[in-house]
Amino acid sequence: MKRLEEFFFEPNCGHNKLKSEKEKKQGCSKPKPGGASGGCAFDGAQIALVPISDALHLVHGPIPCAGNSWDNRGTRSSFSTNYRIGLTTDMSEMDVVHGGEKKLYRAIKEVVERYKPSAVFVYQTCVPAMIGDDVVSVCKKASEDLGVPIIPVESPGFVGSKNLGNKLAGDALFRYVIGTQEPEYTTDYDVNLLGEYNIAGELWQVKPLFKELGIRILACISGDVTYRQVACAHRARVNMVVCSKTMLNLARKMEEKYGIPYFEGSFYGIKDTSDALRNFARLLGSEELIERTERLIEREEKRIKEKLQPYIEKLRGKRVLINTGGVKSWSMVSQVQELGMVVVGTSGKKSTSGDKERMIELLGDEGKIVDDPNPKELVRMFKEYDVDLLMAGGRSKFVALKEGIPFLDTNQERIKPYAGYDGMLILAQELVRTLYSPVFKLYRRKAPWQSL
């Protein structure tokens, strides 16, 4: 796993720039024994690749890796349902003693014959990595024998966090997939999105905008995408990195090898959506496109602001605490602020120094940056900051609900799309719905026997 070191030297990762030499060697933050635990590298790799929907995703290892996680993401696809089939070699004790390579080969053969996929991604997990199963060679052989691309993803969980897993996935795509096929035709307006997972169909919220502008999304890595689209992704003119940290290294490598410029952005909120479109127009370098884009932005902003007005009246001044990771912790801040709400704090967890600068700028004096609060601290903050609503991932959902604080899921389990202009309206509607639900008042009501 020598290659791993490379990932800790991401020159463009603001997080790494700030570290001392020694810290860099240690890599990104280590999980603490007996502390709250996040997902493993395998989890991260799966998140980034499973949305390649016409491929099969086969997990090599004992049951827990796939068994406890298959079909658990909110990514949606318009191409195929292959990606929702849970597949694993479910290694037994015998396989651990004798090695699992033969079983893996047989497993690949079985599923290729039965499901005829465009490709198979094979995920390496901890136990087979520890006993030395050579997944790369098995995939190579299977690929030659079966005539289908079989892509090894070396992502045993113990190498690190979910974020590292995202990067390993990007690496697998760069080494084995991108550039292996050619599109039927190309246009001057072909682009890729990197780090957009089409959770709850968010990609579909913004796709019509691209279509109207005549910009073709060659590949969305990875959300609602086919294997072939990813294989052709090297022909794009511009890459947009939707999640700043994890797909950055893929963007950088694609710039180096194929000369594709990239920018970082987000589709959360009116301003960010407009900025993203502007950046595309600018980098695609046509005056005519820039002009058309401005017109579209003007029209869309006007349209959505009118629609939002009645909601903003209900949301104005409500106090929100945001506890979500990475890029979302600032992109969601601006989104919520655009709705007239007050952000009393956001989490600096998994954020780069660049993320943090943006947060400080956005929050002003009122808001605090909090570092990965544990449940007890969260409860304390609800009271101290007089919080009306928590926006967070599923992990803190029940901390809020138990305290009678309305909650909005911003993670993969959400089923409403919040991206783009229309996503803003959906977000506003969801916020009003939960904030004005009568249940929270009743929740605080004393039981009959308590007033005796």
Partner 1 sequence: MAELIRSSKACSVYPLKMSQPLGAVYAILGVKNSMPIMHGSQGCAAFAKTFLTRHFWENIPMQTTALSEIVTIMGGDENLHTALKNVIEKNKPEFVGVVSTGVSETRGDDTEGSIKMFRELYDEYSHTKIVFVSTPDYVGSFHEGYSKAVSSILRSLLRAPMKKSPNQINLLISYSMTAKDIDAIEELIKSFGFKPVIFPDMRSLDGQAKAFSSITKYGTDIRDIEMMPASTITIAIGESVREAGEYLEKKFMIPMFYYDSLIGLENFDSLISLLINLSGKEPPESVKRWRDRLLDAMVDSHFYLTGKKVVVAGEPDFLWGMANFLTKEMGAEVPLIVSPTYADGLENLPVGKVIIGDLEDILLHIDGSDIDLLIGNTNLRHIAKEIKAPHYRVGIPIFDRLGHFLKGYIGYEGTANLVFELANLLMERDEEASYHIPEHIKRR
Query: What's at 208, amino acid-wise?
Result: P
Q: Which does 110 bind (CB under 5 to 8 A by kind): ligand SF4, partner 1, none?
A: partner 1
Q: Which of residues 119-138 bind partner 1 (CB under 8 A)?
A: 126-127, 130-131
Q: Which does 294 bind (CB under 5 to 8 A by kind): partner 1, ligand SF4, none?
A: none
CB 94 within 8 A of CB 114: no
> Cβ neighbours of residue 27 under 8 Å, at least 6 residues apart?
4, 7, 8, 160, 164
Q: Which does 179 bind (CB under 5 to 8 A by kind): ligand SF4, partner 1, none?
A: none
Residue written as token pair 């959300």: 223
Nearer to ligand SF4 (CB atom), residue 164 or residue 240: 164
Q: Can you read off the two tokens belonging to residue 78? A: 């318009």
Give the closest residue to 59 by CA, choosing from 82, 88, 25: 88
Q: Which of residues 109-138 bind ligand SF4 (CB under 6 A)?
A: 125-126
- Pairwise CA distance, residues 136 & 122, whole Å: 9
Q: Which does 174 bind (CB under 5 to 8 A by kind): ligand SF4, partner 1, none?
A: none
Select the residue interacting with partner 1 from 5, 6, 23, 110 (CB under 8 A): 110
Q: Which of residues 17-56 bind ligand SF4 (CB under 6 A)?
A: 40, 42
Q: How far is the CB of 165 from ligand SF4 (least distance, A)?
A: 9
Q: Can you read off the two tokens belonging to residue 259? A: 């000369």
Select the residue interacting with partner 1 from 48, 49, 65, 419 (CB under 8 A): 65
Q: Can you read off the two tokens belonging to residue 241? A: 């990195």
In this chain, which stretch among 5-13, 195-203, 346-354, 391-399 interacts with partner 1, using CB under 8 A? 391-399
> Which residues is 150 bridged to in the sheet?
120
CB 227 within 8 A of CB 118: yes
348 binds ligand SF4, rule: CB under 6 A: no
CA 129 to chain centre: 26
CA 146 to chain centre: 32
Q: How many residues bind ligand SF4 (CB under 6 A)?
A: 10
Q: Which of residues 2-21 bind partner 1 (CB under 8 A)?
A: 4
Give the closest residue to 46 by CA, choosing from 138, 154, 201, 198: 154
164 binds ligand SF4, rule: CB under 6 A: no
Q: Can you read off the two tokens belonging to residue 432? A: 């009003």
DSSP string, 225-277: B-HHHHHTGGG-SEEEESSTTTTHHHHHHHHHHH---EEE---SSHHHHHHHH
Q: Which of residues 54-73 bind ligand SF4 (CB under 6 A)?
A: 61, 64-65
For residues 139 to 158, the per-residue mask of contacts with ligand SF4, x marking binding by CB under 6 A and - elsewhere, is: -----------------xxx
Nearer to partner 1 (CB atom), residue 116 or residue 211: 116
CB 322 within 8 A of CB 311: no
**Collapsed DSSP state (helix, strand, coil) of residue 399:** helix
> In this chain, which residue has its C-beta nearest to ligand SF4?
157
For residues 225 to 264, the per-residue mask of contacts with partner 1, x marking binding by CB under 8 A and - elsewhere, is: ----------------------------------------
343 binds ligand SF4, rule: CB under 6 A: no
106 binds partner 1, rule: CB under 8 A: yes
Query: Which residues bind to ligand SF4, rule: CB under 6 A?
Result: 40, 42, 61, 64-65, 125-126, 156-158
